[in-house]
Amino acid sequence: MIAKILSGCALLFCALLAQADMPVMELSAGMHRIEAEVAADQQNRTVGLMNRKAMPAQRGMLFVFTQKNTHCMWMRNTLIPLSVAFLDEDGVVINIEDMQPQTESNHCAKVPARYALEMNLGWFAQRGLKAGAKINGIEKAPRPQ
């Protein structure tokens, strides 16, 4: 029992450390500004937005993948509902998927994607953004590791 508690605490501690290390970059979708934490290495991509209870409206997370692929996202240990936009190498939205907290359903890019941008649930729809929209500033994203 104690080992299980310690294991859970260690995972939470690692998640908090990973979040503290992520750089933040500015992106935009038309006139809408986005402050995106950047998950460009395997540790940060694995932890993502897990264990967070809230996220400011203009904040999100940009996942930078090592290669184009039909990447999938899930919501294990993620407490807030999110929408994810899968992006090509130029920052053009391929598709957007809505995701519910603490589920393990796969939400995948319809064609090979280079990036995924997670925002609060409904963020893209509330701004009229859909497939074909452009996310600006993506070219400044760090190289994946």
Which pLDDT tens digit goes with each residue over 8-30?
444 444 444 444 579 999 999 99
What value does the mean pLDDT take over residues 41-59?
95
Q: For residue 101, give the DSSP letter.
A: T
DSSP readout, 2-65?
A: HHHHHHHHHHHHHHHHHHHH--EEEEEETTEEEEEEEE-SHHHHHHTTTT-S---TTEEEEEEE
Q: 115 and 45 in contact (C-beta within 8 Å)?
A: no
What span, in angstroms and rounded, lies between the C-alpha atoms of 109 and 13?
Answer: 30
Phi and psi torsions of 4, nearest 5°:
-65, -40
Residues with Cβ within 8 Å of 61's Cβ and at least 6 positions away in sequence, in order, are 22, 36, 37, 38, 39, 48, 49, 117, 118
Residue-level length of the chain: 145
Whether residue 4 is predicted with pLDDT greater than 80 in this model: the reply is no
Check residue 21 and give its pLDDT: 73
Whether residue 55 is predicted with pLDDT greater than 90 in this model: the reply is yes
Domain boundaries, the chain: 2-140
User: pTM of this prediction?
Assistant: 0.85
Q: Which CATH class is domain 2-140?
A: mainly beta
